[in-house]
């Protein structure tokens, strides 16, 4: 049976027999202006090999100087991920040979990383987010990025590989999770929550297309109930959230197929082929690669004092999980709404500014999620580009609360606000959309409608009460939808039942 058929046929049944065990290794480019060991720019998209110097080119005699801001950002991330900051950490040389590694080694951290023993909360149970689960973080350490090998795009690409060393020396923080994830969905949520936290902190832009967030996955299976871990494979080339989930689904199905056919899992590195929708063997890892780590002789041990830690801690904003719980208690939001509204710091801030001035925080949440985000998505805009300010949206909701506008009329006004950039009060005056709430005015219109439809009135009074909707429609038609619906219902019912 092919992996594809297995995945679609009885994978769910077999997952009652096997338990997936997943851990993620995430490389995050830190948002510094210069590289980790030299003053070269980290700007993406510069001409090839233009952001380089003797240090990042690995020329003899060039000495590295540690970027203090990169350390501060990594410490900040580690604190937000509940890690223990090691007061002393060591940089080491990781030795291997590759065309885009000019020194022949990468400066990283090994035995004594910057931080260890952290955790992050993920949400399981699908869209309802019914349960929370704590995922351990083994370590967070600093290292420099390698350059980039370019295998295509040139006339002689069939014979040559080109190298761009602009990325060489860019500061990275590697975040390694414990093997606590049990499904592709959990892995997806873990990476989502991790990215969200890093964006809140402002330590990375987490742009996967530009390579500032990269992810590898370690996957193994074990019989349900067994504590011992199975043989793992490492899956690379997971450069989108969708690819992460699809690759894990495929790899789990592939390993199940191997075991069900009596085979053994080989410890290897596999590459996700997005065009074929499968993982492919890249290299065997039966024997661990000896990187011959040893302390970097050109860098002193890194000491992060308690005073500096405290200084960094003060710069940490309210994080997504804390904000989510606060939105639920302070504004009475459900889990789903709170989750959506805290996806980004900018969206959460926008909602709070609306909720502070709007009559009802729950109604404000609904308008932000449905009307505003819907309009922004359709226009291809971010919340920071919204033509409707939080204050103007709160003003519109205030007009609904006062009875000046009905919900339907308010949506019409919102559409105009979004397209024209005007506030609600101006548009209501310009469009003549103010809701009719005067009892006498509404009653006069009702009486005109009733007297104009004697046949329907007779049928209604004879027991055909479904005609009530007909009369409501006629009244709303006469008022061009501006009559207060609640008052129309109340006054119309009294008029129709009057003998």
- pLDDT for the residue 476: 85
Does 315 fall in a domain? no
- pLDDT for the residue 447: 85
Q: Are residues 196 and 96 in the same domain?
A: yes
Q: Are residues 358 and 478 in the same domain?
A: no
Q: Are residues 362 and 480 in the same domain?
A: no
Residue 368 pLDDT > 90: yes
- Domain total for the chain? 3
- pLDDT for the residue 8: 52
Residue 130 pLDDT > 80: no
Does 382 fall in a domain? yes
Please give the residue that has the higher pLDDT: either 71 or 402.
Answer: 71
- Domain boundary (431, 447, 467) is at 431
Q: What is the CATH number of the domain that holds 478?
A: 1.10.10.410
What is the mean predicted confidence (pLDDT) over 71-97? Answer: 98
- pLDDT for the residue 459: 86
- pLDDT for the residue 482: 75
What is the mean predicted confidence (pLDDT) over 295-322? Answer: 97
- pLDDT for the residue 467: 85
Q: Are residues 193 and 337 in the same domain?
A: no
Does 276 fall in a domain? yes
Which of 58-62, 79-83, 126-130, 207-211 is predicted most confidently? 79-83
Does 261 fall in a domain? yes
Q: Are residues 136 and 211 in the same domain?
A: yes
The three-state DSSP-derived secondary structure of the chain is CCHHHHHHCCHHHHCCCEEEEEEEEEEEECCCCECCCCCCECCCCCCCCCCCCCCCCCCCCCCCCCCHHHHHHHHHHHHHCCCEECCEECCEEEECCCCCCCCCEEEECCCCCCEEEEEEEEEECHHHCCEEEEEEEEEEEEEECCCEEECCCCCCCCCCCEEECCCCCCEEEEEEECCCECCHHHHHHHHHHHHHHHHHHCCCCCCCCCCCEEEEEEEEEEECCCCCCCCCEEEECCCCHHHHHHHHHHHHHHHHHHHHCCCCCCCEEEEEECCCCEEEEEEECCCCCCCCCEECCCCCCEECCHHHHHHHHCCCCCCHHHHHHHHHHHCCCCHHHHHHHCCCHHHHHHHHHHHHHCCCHHHHHHHHHHHHHHHHHHHCCCHHHCCCCHHHHHHHHHHHHHCCCCHHHHHHHHHHHHHHCCCHHHHHHHHCCCCECCHHHHHHHHHHHHHHCHHHHHHHHCCCHHHHHHHHHHHHHHCCCCECHHHHHHHHHHHHCCC
- pLDDT for the residue 53: 97
What is the mean predicted confidence (pLDDT) over 405-418? Answer: 89
What is the mean predicted confidence (pLDDT) over 371-400? Answer: 96
The percent of residues above 70 in pLDDT, for the chain, comes to: 94
- pLDDT for the residue 7: 54
- pLDDT for the residue 177: 98
Domain enclosing residue 281, as ranges:
3-309
Please give the residue that has the higher pLDDT: either 173 or 497.
Answer: 173
What is the mean predicted confidence (pLDDT) over 68-95? Answer: 98
Dump pLDDT digits (tens) for 282-295: 877 655 568 899 99
Dump pLDDT digits (tens) for 143-161: 999 999 998 888 888 889 9
Does 208 fall in a domain? yes
- pLDDT for the residue 278: 94
What is the mean predicted confidence (pLDDT) over 264-284? Answer: 91
Q: Are residues 291 and 389 in the same domain?
A: no
Residue 426 pLDDT grade (very low, low, confident, very high; cuts 50, 70, 90): confident
Q: Are residues 234 and 127 in the same domain?
A: yes
Q: Are residues 391 and 470 in the same domain?
A: no
Residue 323 pLDDT > 90: yes
Residue 197 pLDDT > 80: yes
- Domain boundary (431, 455, 476) is at 431
- Average pLDDT score, the chain: 92
- pLDDT for the residue 128: 56
């Amino acid at each position: 049976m092919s992996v594809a058929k297995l995945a679609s046929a009885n994978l769910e049944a077999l997952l009652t027999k096997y338990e997936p065990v997943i851990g993620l290794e995430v490389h995050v480019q830190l948002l510094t202006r210069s590289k980790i060991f030299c003053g070269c720019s980290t700007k993406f998209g510069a001409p090839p090999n233009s952001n380089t110097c003797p240090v990042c080119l690995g020329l003899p005699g060039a000495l590295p100087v540690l970027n203090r801001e990169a350390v501060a950002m990594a410490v900040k991330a580690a604190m937000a991920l509940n890690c223990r900051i090691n007061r002393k950490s060591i940089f080491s040389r990781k030795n291997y040979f590759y065309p885009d590694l000019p020194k022949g080694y990468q400066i990283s951290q090994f035995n004594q990383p910057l931080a260890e023993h952290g955790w992050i909360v993920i949400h399981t149970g699908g869209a309802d987010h019914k349960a929370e689960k704590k995922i351990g973080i083994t370590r967070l350490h600093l290292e420099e990025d390698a350059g980039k090998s370019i295998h295509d795009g040139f006339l002689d690409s069939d014979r040559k590989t080109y190298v761009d060393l602009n990325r060489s020396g860019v500061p990275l923080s590697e975040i390694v999770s414990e093997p606590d994830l049990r499904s592709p969905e959990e892995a997806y949520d873990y990476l989502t929550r991790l990215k969200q936290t890093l964006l809140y902190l402002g330590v990375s832009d987490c742009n996967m297309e530009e390579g500032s967030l990269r992810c590898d996955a370690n996957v193994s299976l074990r019989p349900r109930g067994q504590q011992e871990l199975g043989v793992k494979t490492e899956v690379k080339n997971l450069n989108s959230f969708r690819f992460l989930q699809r690759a894990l689904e495929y790899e789990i199905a592939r390993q199940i197929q191997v075991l069900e056919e009596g085979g053994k899992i080989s410890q290897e590195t596999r590459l996700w082929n997005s065009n074929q929708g499968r993982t492919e063997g890249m290299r065997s890892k039966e024997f661990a690669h000896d990187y011959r780590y040893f302390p970097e002789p050109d860098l002193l041990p890194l000491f992060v004092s308690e005073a500096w830690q405290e200084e960094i801690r003060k710069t940490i904003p309210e994080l997504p999980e804390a904000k989510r719980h606060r939105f639920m208690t302070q504004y009475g939001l459900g889990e789903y709404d709170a989750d959506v509204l805290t996806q980004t710091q900018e969206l959460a801030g926008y909602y709070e500014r609306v909720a502070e001035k709007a009559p009802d925080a729950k109604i404000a949440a609904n308008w932000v999620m449905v009307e505003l985000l819907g309009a922004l998505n359709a226009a291809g805009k971010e919340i920071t580009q919204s033509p409707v300010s939080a204050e103007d949206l709160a003003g519109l909701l205030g007009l609904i609360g006062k009875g000046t506008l009905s919900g339907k009329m308010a949506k019409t006004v919102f559409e105009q606000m979004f397209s024209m950039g005007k506030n609600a009060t101006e548009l209501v005056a310009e469009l003549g959309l103010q809701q009719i709430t005067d009892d006498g005015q509404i009653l006069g219109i009702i009486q005109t409608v009733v007297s104009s439809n004697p046949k329907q009135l007779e049928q209604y009074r004879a027991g055909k009460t479904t005609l009530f909707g007909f009369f409501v429609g006629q009244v709303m038609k006469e008022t061009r939808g501006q009559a207060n619906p609640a008052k129309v219902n109340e006054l119309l019912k009294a008029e129709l039942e009057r003998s």
